[in-house]
Structure 1
Amino acid sequence: MPRQPVYEQIIADVIASIQSGALQPGDKLPSIAQLCEQYRASPTPIRFALRILDERGWIEVHQGKGSFVADEPPA
């Protein structure tokens, strides 16, 4: 089975953490640098994953402050 792209893995992991309650509304996600280290990836797929999560309503990205779990993530 081919490995899924790292950005898809990040999206799945963040959604799973929100759905399980490990990440609560308002919680700050790790920084891009921390996510790069965690997933052994460059910043490009990390930023792409965060943008998709933002567009889908799971997180809110605040320039210069970081990424946070949305107040009302999708069900």
Structure 2
Amino acid sequence: MYREIITTSRRGDQGRGLQPGDRLPTIAQLCEQYQASNTPVKTAMRLLEEMGLIETWQGKGMFVRQRTEDAK
């Protein structure tokens, strides 16, 4: 399940791709969207952050990071 979340998160809404600064849905919204518990959703978000694709700001949300050579 977390792989599906990563794939669709990287692709973005309607295949348009995510742009730097775009805000991602909340964990609760993603759980509802994928009909999944929070464990695979949190795993997917953690992995996206480790890949350097998103950054999390507590109390503000998760955002797409500026694209760098390492994050491709």
The question of 1:68 aligning with 2:63 is answered yes
Residue 17 of structure 1: aligned partner: 12
Aligned residues of 2:10 and 2:17 also touching (Cα < 8 A):
no
TM-score, normalized by length of structure 1?
A: 0.80
Code of the aligned partner of 1:8: R
TM-score, normalized by length of structure 2?
A: 0.83
Gaps of 5+ in 1: 1-5
Give the aligned CA root-mean-square deviation in angstroms: 1.8
Aligned-residue offset at 1:72: 1.8
Gaps of 5+ in 2: none
Match 2:35 to one of 18, 34, 40: 40
Q: % of aligned pairs identical?
A: 51
